[in-house]
Amino acid sequence: MDLPQTSEASLTPVSSTPQRRSNQQRRIELLAVAAFVLVNLLAPVLCGELYPFTVSPMFSDQPSAYCTYEILASDGKSLELEPFGLHLVYDGNPPGLGMGIVPRSTLHEFGEVCDERIVLDRVRQTMQDAAIVGPLTVKRTHVEGGANQLKTTTQEWTVTGAESL
């Protein structure tokens, strides 16, 4: 292999010839490579989800069903779900993991089918607290695994707000 033999030659090498690298330089590079590998192998165990390190947790759960909610005012207008605590905090990642802001509490956990009574009590409570005039229509679509395809059922309740909690 054509290698520059003198320090002068190393300053003006043939165009494609790699310059001389000392063993010390190589050791430093190797150390950096080893450190990169080691840190990335250990970080998931030691730090968990800490950007830029990650345990790649997306879609690591195994849901067997999920629900979607819709709340309609008496004029048919769709209302925001967050004030009623029925919003979904899930995008495939475990909620809150590796995120700086804690999501607002919700009854609507992905993969869970919340008890009907708890949902309706929460809606009534919000109506009272926020002085929302009823009646409101609460629609819940429940999707679950069927024989080989998904099975969807829809439930609908009317909440006047006048019922006792």
Partner 1 sequence: MSKLTWLFDRATPRFGQISVWLLLSFALVLALTPIEFDAGPRSEHPATVFSWLPVDLIRNPIFFTCVRVVLMASVVLWATRIWIPVSCWLTVISFTLMWSLRMENLTNGAHIFNVTNMLLIIHAMWFHFYRREIKGSIVRGTFWEQKSYPRWVFWLSVFYLGWFHSLAGFTKLSCCGPGWGNGTSLQLWVNLFGWKASPFAQLILFDSRLTAVLQTGALVIECLSILAVLHWSARYLVGLGLFGFYVGVLGTFVTFGFHFNAILVALFLLPTDRLLGLQFEQCGLLEPSNESLGP
What's the rounded Cα separation, in Å, for the pair 12 and 140? 75
Is the Cβ of residue 99 or residue 133 nearer to partner 1 in the bound state?
99
Question: Rounded to the nearest whole angstrom, what is the least distance from the CB of residue 119 to partner 1 in the complex?
Answer: 19
Cα atoms in the 13 Å half-sphere on the side-chain side of 71: 22
Residue 114 in contact with residue 81, Cβ under 8 Å?
Answer: no
Number of other residues whose CB lies within 10 A of the CB of residue 85: 18
Residues that bind partner 1 (CB under 8 A): 1, 3, 11, 15-23, 25-30, 32-33, 36-37, 40-41, 44, 49-66, 68, 89-93, 95-96, 98-104, 143, 145, 148-150
Is the Cβ of residue 31 or residue 133 nearer to partner 1 in the bound state?
31
What's the rounded Cα separation, in Å, for the pair 117 and 139? 14
Is the Cβ of residue 37 or residue 118 nearer to partner 1 in the bound state?
37
Is the Cβ of residue 11 or residue 165 nearer to partner 1 in the bound state?
11
Question: Rounded to the nearest whole angstrom, what is the least distance from the CB of residue 148 to partner 1 in the complex?
Answer: 5
- Structural element, H or E, at residue 153: strand 150-159
Question: Rounded to the nearest whole angstrom, what is the least distance from the CB of residue 14 to partner 1 in the complex?
Answer: 9
